[in-house]
Amino acid sequence: MTAGLTTAGPAAGATPFADSRCGSDRGYQAHRRRGETPCEACRKGRNAERRARERVKPKPRKPDTTPRRFWGKVTGDDFTTCWEWTAYRDQNGYGRFNIGGRAGSTHMAHRVAYELLIGPVPNGLELDHLCRNRACVNPWHLDPVTHLVNSRRGIAGQVNAERQRAITHCPEGHPYDGQNTTLRSSGARRCKTCSRQDHQRRYQQNPEKYREVARQYRVRRKERAA
């Protein structure tokens, strides 16, 4: 044997041996058997051959097992009791369920249960837990409501209501009582005294505008009465 030559494979990072099979899946496997890093031509050839095989014989699609997987993570079967979600829950206590595997997305578990047994949630509405149990996925414990209603029913709404009830006077010091309080359409309280003062201030800034508005109002009243 010639001095200085060995039969061992190349060191890590060295140029791979030249091979007539380079540029194919067989060349890729030959590089791996010799302990080499496959060359760029072999990597591209291997991927091209695999894509070609998949086009000729596509992989069979797995059947949709969403209902079976979902209900396997739920305990309870009585409509009057809570159906507890036994799998992953987020930091707020709501169950989470993945649909579509790694390429899919994660959904609220109680929403999935509602859509499986009852139907789609109406647009613009969200599901409120009537049982106040966030881990419950019983669709008969869920009520489709607006975000405003859901917030008022929840813990945040109760805390805010208690905080508002603790306020007995408006920022100007007028009392919130039966004679000095009106309610806005949103449910918030409004001080009558402050409201009158606001109207007087706007009238003094532009009296001609409000006189014209009052004149038009009287004309419309006469037209309706005629």
CATH of domain 66-159: 3.90.75.20
* Kind of pairing between the strands at 189-191 and 181-183: antiparallel
Of residues 118 and 12, the one with the higher pLDDT is 118
pLDDT tops 80 at residue 8: no
* Rg of the chain in Å (alpha carbons): 36
**Which amino acid appears at position 40 of this protein?**
E
pLDDT tops 60 at residue 71: yes
Tokens of 123: 């647009």
Helices (DSSP H) in 63-127: which residue ranges?
66-71, 109-117
Neighbours of 5 (CB within 10 A): 7
Of residues 210 and 74, the one with the higher pLDDT is 74
Give all strands (DSSP E) within the chain, no chain letters: 74-75, 84-85, 96-99, 105-108, 126-129, 142-145, 181-183, 189-191
pLDDT tops 60 at residue 2: no
pLDDT tops 60 at residue 165: yes
What confidence tier does 156 reach under pLDDT thresholds 50, 70, 90? low
pLDDT tens sequence across 26-46: 888 888 888 888 888 888 888
- Give me the pLDDT at residue 58, please: 61
Report the predicted TM-score, pTM, of the whole model to 2 decimal places.
Answer: 0.48
Task: Tell me the domain boundaries of the chain.
Answer: 25-56, 66-159, 171-225
